[in-house]
Structure 1
Amino acid sequence: MASIVKRGKSYRVQVSLYKHGQHKRISQTFPTKKEASLWALEMELAKGEGKELAHRTTTFADFFENWIYLVKINDVKETTFQNYVRTSGIIRNLFQDIQLKDLNDIVVQKKIDEYAKTHSRKTTHEVLLKIKTSLRDAYARGYIVNDFAPLVKTRGVNPQKRNRALSITDFKKLRNYVLQHPEDEFNVLVLLALETGMRRGELLAIRPESLYEYGIEVRHSISPTSDDTSLKTQNAKRDVSINKEVYELINRIPVKENGYIFNFGGFKQSEQLADLLTVLDIKKTTFHGLRDTHASFLFAQDIDIAYVSKRLGHINVTTTQNYYLELVPEKKHQQDADALNLLSAL
């Protein structure tokens, strides 16, 4: 097992090796403890000699943090890597000083259940997936003796959906208001979300060169957690048509110093939207809920699903079909009536 010793302002790492019947030690000095820890982990992973590593006293939190900076940083996109970094903080709070040698499915299940008490099932599942990935890697390299990751399950319940679609009545009410008050830049952003179904990051990434008569080229997305402006998927690259009135409203907004049309506003668009909906006496939804509203409205008008899928930038039509579960209320009531009428006519 590697040892790290502080010497003055530097850190010396020493790693024990056993090869061809002989014991050997290699060492190296680093200016920071983090660099020393990463190199130590890299050397230990490279050894790959078997299950004796399962008895090491490294904490799971330390292993996970070092693992993402050594292994995952080169395997995933920047935005995904930042998710791993955030998960590292969650793991440190949950597992604290629990060591690799003390991990098993019961310990991990208990911790993930604890996390699920205050988080949605979806969020808990995403954290657990990252934990499982690291545990499988640890097992493959001999850091733990058993591959128990598949035994750990996501529990808990899903809270009420916050990204709900607005009713047709509320959709029209909101659209009319923002259309009549374009002097507030945020209102134009809301209008665009309703008119295009674009994601918040895609809307914030609009530059003058993104516009054409009459439409928007979706090529980038702004994230609050990363400088990476690439789109979520390749399918997200698309051209979205808009009407002349909306196009002219966008062109009236002064371009910002950073080259974008809209202010990022601290990425608090959902909070701003909540205030606006309160003023208009409309039931609350999130900014992403405006995207759901756009999709639901198109479905309510019987627009071809293939067209809707392409307009939303979905990876396939199956993804788009999931929106049928969130149809605007008026359409659902009409479908209920149609279904009952058909049955009554038998």
Structure 2
Amino acid sequence: MEQSPKLHEYFAEWMQLYKRDAVQPITYQKYEMTHRQLCRLAPDIRMSQMSRLTYQKILNEYAKTHERQTVMDFHRHVRSALMDALEERIIERDPTRKAVLKGIKHRKHKTKFLHQHEVQSLLNVLTLNEGVNWDYFILLISKTGLRFAEALGVTPEDFDFARQNLKIDKTWNYKAEKSGFAPTKNHASVRNVQLDWQTVIQFSQLTKGMPPHQPIFVQNTKVYNDTVNHYLERLCRRAEIPVISVHGLRHTHASLLLYSGVSIASVAHRLGHSNMNTTQQTYLHIIQELENQDNDKVMKHLASLV
């Protein structure tokens, strides 16, 4: 009788069959990371041995060195494969049923977003009169909420200064061995982002005479996310504000818009989220805070009706 495949073997075949070329390369890399973890955690476990107990042991072992959110992502990947295996009758029962997700306590993270006066302090220390530099990159993300790869992929021709908007229809695949333009994260990420007049003036001067089709911030060298984050850290310390990551600037942009009364739908479109649920989940704490403020307004209004 033929032996059932090993868990990591089935997962590898499953992700190549269903996920390769169906998801963005960066997303597929996460599936590959899950596969490597399965090889480490369960090198010899076969699909026929998959029970709730066996699966929980794998989750518990993974949770010893990862935060709960990361454990949830790992579980989601493996469970998707196992549900297909169940449908194909490779396994008889769902081993993931009632799985308990654990994880180590949150490590100390960088500040997720800045307050408005802190953003202003950061912008005040930027050097914007010496040609292309990371200061302009930081300015662009602060003013638009672009993703890191989207900002890297911006070219001079993407700006429509007359209409005060920026077209986002590509990214820069900085993680690949051979960098180059790549598609956006999803269809919703293709969008036009409105610009304020100050940003229009700053980038119209910066891009004057630059090759229209070449990325503004990629200057014949490999770009690393850590390099820009370390540079931003030095700027934050100089501005005497909490240290934040480049991705944190995207969160900051969205947070400030929500606090200023911009609708969730508009923020979702500006960020390039595929649906409003993503925006709501990411900024739930802010939305709840704003709802509490609205409730106070409602009560004051009703109390005035006497």
Same fold (TM over 0.5): yes
Task: Tell me which residue corresponds to 2:260.
Answer: 301
Shift in CA distance, 314/73, structure 1 to aligned 2, threshold 3 Å: closer
Aligned equivalent of 1:215, options 165, 168, 175: 165
**Mapped contact 1:295–1:323 kept (Cα < 8 A):** no
Give the letter aligned to residue 110 of structure 1.
Answer: K
Q: 2:187 aligns with which of 214, 222, 234?
A: 234
Moved more, 272-281 or 124-133: 272-281
Moved more, 163-172 or 267-276: 267-276
Larger Rg, first or second structure (1 or 2): 1
Taking a change above 3 Å as real, the CA distance of residues 99 and 314 of structure 1, as seen in their structure-2 partners, is closer
Shift of 1:322: 4.5
Distance 1:137 1:82 in 2: 20
Counterpart CA distance in 2 for 1:320 and 1:186 is: 27
* Residue ranges of structure 2 left out of the alignment (5+ in a row): none
Residue 260 (1) aligns with residue 215 (2): yes
TM, length-normalised to structure 1: 0.71
For 1:6-56, what per-residue CA distance to the aligned partner results, in whole angstroms no more than 9, with x for missing partners? xxxxxxxxxxxxxxxxxxxxxxxxxxxxxxxxxxxxxxxxxxxxxxx6xx2
1:206 aligns with 2:154: yes
Q: Gapped runs of 5+ residues in structure 1?
A: 2-52
- TM-fit CA distance, 1:196: 0.6
Native 8 Å contact 1:201 1:223 kept in 2: yes
Structure 1 residue 194: Cα displacement = 0.6
| Alpha carbons of structure 1 residues 291 and 253: separation in structure 2 relative to 1, 3 Å | farther
Question: In the alignment, residue 236 of structure 1 is paired with which amino acid?
Answer: S
SS of 2:166's partner is strand
Partner amino acid, structure 2, of 1:237: V
Count of residues in correspondence between the two structures: 289
Residue 283 of structure 1, aligned match among 197, 218, 242: 242
d(CA) in 1 for partners of 2:23 and 2:48? 28
Question: 1:87-131: CA deviations, max 9, x gaps?
Answer: 211111111222333222212212212222322222211111111
> What secondary structure sits across from 1:265 in the alignment?
coil
The equivalences for 1:21-170 within 5 A come to 56=3, 58-73=5-20, 75-156=22-103, 159=106, 162=110, 164-170=112-118
Q: How far apart, in 1, do the equivalents of 2:284 and 2:147 lie?
A: 19
> What letter matches 1:262 in structure 2?
F
**Root-mean-square deviation over aligned CA pairs:** 3.5
> In structure 2, what is the equivalent of residue 5 of structure 1?
none
- Deviations 1:42-74 (CA, angstroms, capped at 9, x unpaired): xxxxxxxxxxx6xx2643223322332344335
Structure with a larger share of its residues in strand: 1
Query: Aligned partners of 1:165 and 1:275: how far apart in 2?
Result: 17
8 Å CA contact 1:164, 1:326 repeated in 2? no
Percent identity of the aligned residues?
26
Change (3 A) 1:306 1:75: closer
The 3 A distance-change label for structure 1 pair 327 and 275 is farther
